[in-house]
A and B are shown apart, each in its own frame.
Chain A
Amino acid sequence: MREQLLSLMVFLPLITALGICFLPRKWEKSAFAWGWIGMVATFALSLNLFLNFQVGMAGYQFVQMIPWIPKYGVNYFVGLDGISLVLVVLTTILSPVALGLSFGMVPERKKEFVVSLLALETAMLGTFAALDIFLFYVFWETMLVPMYLLIGVFGGPRRIYATLKFFIYTMAGSLLMLIAVLMLYALHEQEFGFASASIPDLYAVSCRFDLQVVIYLLFLVAFAIKIPVFPFHTWLPDAHVEAPMAGSVILAGVLLKMGGYGILRLAHPMAPDAALFFAPGLGLLGVIGILYGAYLAWVQQDMKKLVAYSSVSHMGFVVLGLASLVPQATSGAVFQMIAHGISTGALFMLVGILYQRRHTRMLLDFGGLAKITPKLAAAFILITLASIGLPGLCGFVGEFLILVGSFGAPALAYPKIFVALSVIGIVLGAVYMLTLVERIFLGGVRFEENRKVSDLNWREGLAVLVPVILAIWLGIQPNVVLSRVSPSVDAIFETMKSKSDGIKMAERGRWR
């Protein structure tokens, strides 16, 4: 049973979705309840995994392997290390919260909505759990279809444009990744004489520098689109603005992390020399993302767009941390991914709640809501502070580790300049986030409609409470995440060091 636990967790949402497909139309309303029960059960399973996880061990746990396509050496091979474990738990927490909040927000086609969300959850969990590159690719691509439906069917007025842009952008990236996957696979076959698609086996491939460059760039484009890194970010605001609330929460909370996870799990360990070679470039793109995203967020009038661009900025820190090729900053990047998932996910929830009440997302239409909706305002302000990176809340830890780690990272070429520029990004972050709070909640009530806005009801309150508690808890107890993540990050660096002398140098120069 213990062996199948992980697979059970991955596929439980899909099984629930199949059940809901056969739900008669007249009982459609109960689809939400069934879906929610399925997601909570999934969360319970993931909690079980989290508690049973051996902290401090670097290897994969809960491993299960079944031959799938022996001809190609492809196995159904799943397992978790610390990095995927925390991301899995983030997914299983955000999904039921997002669904629970959407109860009243979907007027029709409730069944399809719930089924899409459940299918999406299985695909996300599968991507994090997969230890076979073929399986990883299958789950990775499967994510697209439910998201396409969520945005395209349940989205706003420009939903079709947004969903096509999202789908084609992401698919173009993942098709490039497919070339990299095939190249790695063929190289492994050449070097070792047998076919295998398992990720740990592929780590052992030692390839020429020019091939590494090709493989790295192909992977990087796919993951950079997903994160999104600066020149590839244009799909994100459209997708976020048009997506329904639950879609935005999952998109910001989990899907963007796929990119960072992919870089860490595949791009860097498969091509360490190329990673070192491109580290300054990637770091620079990260810094540009931080500043450019922050600047764009600053000038937005639409709340959802503001939060979307703030995502670009926050994920820039993740990119910088990954590019530094220092374990400390890399652990920080993983922590930042979790923190961003919690805070930005929660921001999209709160913005969604406001939109549902006022049917507008323009900042100018609000003002003075703090007096009318105190609970909403309290949650909003706390989440905003977490997002800015106030010490004691979750956003601080990740950014701190990333900046401290990158400050002495020789791989970045100009680490001190990069860090200095990123700090400006943090300041800008405080500016736009506090402007957001001020415009919505502070000042006088200028519009009569705003007086009728109701505060959080018990269901919304409970849903919002989850990220609020997590933001505080992880801010005070970051070790819950870090103790699980760090050994796995170290293991990935061991893999890289075994193949590349450059990485050893890069790490030795780290600032203590």
Chain B
Amino acid sequence: MMPLFLEMNWIMFLPYLVLAGGALLLMFLGLLFRSREESPFLFSSLAGISVAACMISIPAVGELGSPFGGLLAHDDLGNKFAQVVLMLLLFSLPALSFRRPLLRERPSSVLSLLLLSASGGLMMVFANHFISFFVGLELLSLPLYVLTALGHDRDRGGEAAFKYFLLGAISSAIFVYGAALVWGGIGTLTFSEIGMSLREHGLTSPGLFTVGLALVVAGVGFKLGLVPFQMWLPDVYEGAPSVVVAWMSGAVKAAAAVIFFRLFRELDGGTLMSLAGALSLAALLSMFWGSLGALYQKNVKRLFGYSTIAHVGYLFIAFVVATHEPSVDVVGAVAFYVLAYGVATLAGFVILSVEEEEGRLKISDLSGLFRRKPVLAIVLAISLLSLAGLPPLGGFMAKFNIFLAAIRLELYGLVLAGVVTSAISLGFYLRVLTSVFMKEPEHRDLIRVRWGVGTALGVATALILFLGLFPQRFLDFFM
């Protein structure tokens, strides 16, 4: 391996270095200060600068080729999703810049964990090899396990983190096992070589390859919360601190989605056909499980968890489309969807983090939010209605992209299911909004909304509206 490193142009590694370097710097600064003297504002600004530097450096280094001898591919496809991951991180940072820490750890450690996790996401997005994807996956997940445990409620956070960790470990194991079988079946682990290898040598062992592929998809599906691997998701969303979920829910999807496109464009028609059937079924089940399950939730965070499962189902409609026709439009539709979903969830969870501080997370606890904090209530309404897919908000445009792509391929059944579950999901989104707007407040507020939360919400709301009203710029970028 020695010559590889010597030959490599280290500038190509800049995006990762900026993020990981920022993480290390924050950790180091954390050692210099005592926890009371730490300035969360300063630290989150630092984190923001490194994220922004990373965002700018990605397209710049893209022209230099692929680092690590082809383990990573700095291509356009990865760039789209990397920008989504980083954008979501950037938007959630202001919510973390409080004097009174939201989490049990000091801001420096929390922020450095977030940056490390993002660098893992970045690696997944650009991975061109099962190994590098796996390293990225672990680097993304491990800090998330820690962050999940850091909420003020030790018991619940601990339980959620433990569950997340155990099931995450299982999903990683499934993924690695699948990757090993794929290697056995085809003799390569580089994504971009699979297609060539299939055409030139054929499969040495078709059974191994297919099973391996199925396990890889299952492992990633586990991370996303695809039915039938969804059971952990509501529990983790409920137990983890809201600020952490705010970022993680969108970012994990953006990071994991890319592997499907990288794999699908290499595979042959027969394999894709059988995959399409399985994915359609999983998409259907996810949409119905998520939207029906959410109807019965009392806790708002669990409700978001179930709604996430439904949204994963919508995403998989796009992946089914990608198995038929891996065009740029589908990639763009998925990236757009993840961004719209991620921003809306981010806004929702940042609001919940305010309520969480006051110890309220039941739907009935949100009653009269409009009387107590009108601006928060309106932002929550925008976020939930965007998730429900009401125009002219970002969520509608996102669903429009995916449904249109599916209709073009005449996948009427999936679109019908998407539409029906959208109508069902309106039921629980409206239940929250009814409580917020039409009931009288039951509590008095103790905590004022801080400017950091305000900034995060302002940016998120602006983006939701912008995605819906002026989507052209984003479509240009993504498609």
Contacts and interface: CB of A to CB of B under 8 A. Distances in A.
A71, A153, A167: most-surrounded residue (chain B CB, <10 A): A71
B404 A168 contact: no
B472 A145 contact: no
Interface string B73-105: 000000000000000000000000000000000
Given A172-B423, A179-B416, A185 B404 contact: yes
Interface stretch (A134-142, A464-472, A484-492): A134-142
B188 interface: no
Interface string A156-171: 0001100110011001
B285 interface: no
A207 B67 CA distance: 51
B423 A164 contact: no
Given A141-B391, A145-B385, A159 B438 contact: yes
A171 B404 contact: no
Given A68-B472, A69-B475, A164-B430, A153 B437 contact: yes
B472 to A, nearest CB: 5
Given A175-B423, A179-B407, A152 B415 contact: no
A167 B430 contact: yes
A145 B434 CA distance: 12
B476 interface: yes
Interface string A56-84: 00000000000011111000000000000
Nearest to B406: A182
B454 interface: no
Contacts of A141: 390-391, 396
Contacts of A178: 400, 403, 419
Contacts of B427: 164, 168
B134 to A, nearest CB: 36
Nearest to A68: B472
Given A141-B390, A168-B423, A172-B423, A182 B430 contact: no
Interface in B394-423: 396, 400, 403-404, 407-408, 412, 415-416, 419-420, 422-423
Interface of A is mostly: helix
Contact of A182 (B407, B422, B423, B431): B407
Interface string B329-347: 0000000000000000000
Contacts of A185: 404, 407
B404 A182 contact: yes
A123 to B, nearest CB: 10
A168 B431 CA distance: 11
B195 interface: no
B182 to A, nearest CB: 35
A163 B471 CA distance: 31
Given A68-B472, A69-B472, A183-B407, A160 B423 contact: no
Contact of B426 (A69, A137, A138, A167): A167
A214 B410 CA distance: 13
Contact of B472 (A70, A175, A182): A70
Nearest to A152: B438
A434 interface: no
Interface string A225-244: 00000000000000000000
A214 B413 CA distance: 13
B52 interface: no
Nearest to B391: A138
Interface of B is mostly: helix
B403 A71 contact: no
A189 B408 contact: yes
A431 interface: no
B294 to A, nearest CB: 14
A160 B438 contact: yes
B479 interface: yes
A69 B403 contact: no
Contacts of B415: 179, 182
Interface string A183-223: 10110010000000000000000000000001000000000
A138 B392 contact: yes
A149 interface: yes
Contacts of A137: 391
B423 A149 contact: no
Nearest to B438: A152
A229 B62 CA distance: 58
Contacts of A152: 434, 437-438
A405 B420 CA distance: 38
A347 interface: no
A309 to B, nearest CB: 26
A149 B479 contact: no
A413 interface: no
Nearest to A169: B423
Interface in B355-396: 385, 390-392, 396
Nearest to B476: A71
B121 to A, nearest CB: 27
Contacts of A72: 404, 475
Contacts of A148: 430
Contacts of A69: 471-472, 475
Contact of A71 (B396, B416, B419, B472): B472
A160 B419 contact: no
A294 to B, nearest CB: 31
A186 B472 contact: no
B213 to A, nearest CB: 30
A462 B391 CA distance: 37
A186 B476 contact: no
A319 B267 CA distance: 53
B416 A186 contact: no
Interface string B437-452: 1100000000000000
Nearest to B437: A153
A458 B216 CA distance: 76
A171 B430 CA distance: 12
A72 B392 CA distance: 15
Nearest to B472: A69
A137, A141, A145, A182: most-surrounded residue (chain B CB, <10 A): A182
B391 A175 contact: no
Contacts of B400: 178, 182
A186 B407 contact: yes
A176 interface: yes
Given A145-B385, A179-B416, A160 B434 contact: yes
A125 to B, nearest CB: 15
Given A182-B404, A185-B404, A175 B390 contact: no
Contacts of A179: 403, 407, 412, 415-416, 419
A71 B408 contact: no
Nearest to A144: B390
B393 to A, nearest CB: 10
Contacts of B392: 138, 142
B407, B431, B471, B476: most-surrounded residue (chain A CB, <10 A): B407
A230 to B, nearest CB: 21
B422 A175 contact: yes
B391, B431, B437, B471: most-surrounded residue (chain A CB, <10 A): B391
A69 B434 CA distance: 33
14 contacts: A70-B472, A71-B471, A138-B391, A145-B390, A148-B430, A152-B437, A164-B434, A168-B430, A178-B419, A179-B403, A179-B412, A179-B415, A186-B404, A186-B408
Given A69-B475, A70-B472, A214-B412, 19 more contacts: A68-B472, A71-B475, A72-B404, A72-B475, A137-B391, A144-B390, A148-B430, A152-B438, A153-B437, A163-B438, A164-B434, A167-B430, A168-B426, A168-B427, A171-B390, A172-B423, A175-B422, A182-B403, A186-B408
Interface of A: 68-72, 137-138, 141-142, 144-145, 148-149, 152-153, 159-160, 163-164, 167-168, 171-172, 175-176, 178-179, 182-183, 185-186, 189, 214
Interface of B: 385, 390-392, 396, 400, 403-404, 407-408, 412, 415-416, 419-420, 422-423, 426-427, 430-431, 434, 437-438, 471-472, 475-476, 479
8 interchain residue pairs of minimum CB distance = A172-B423, A138-B391, A182-B407, A175-B419, A71-B475, A152-B438, A141-B391, A186-B408
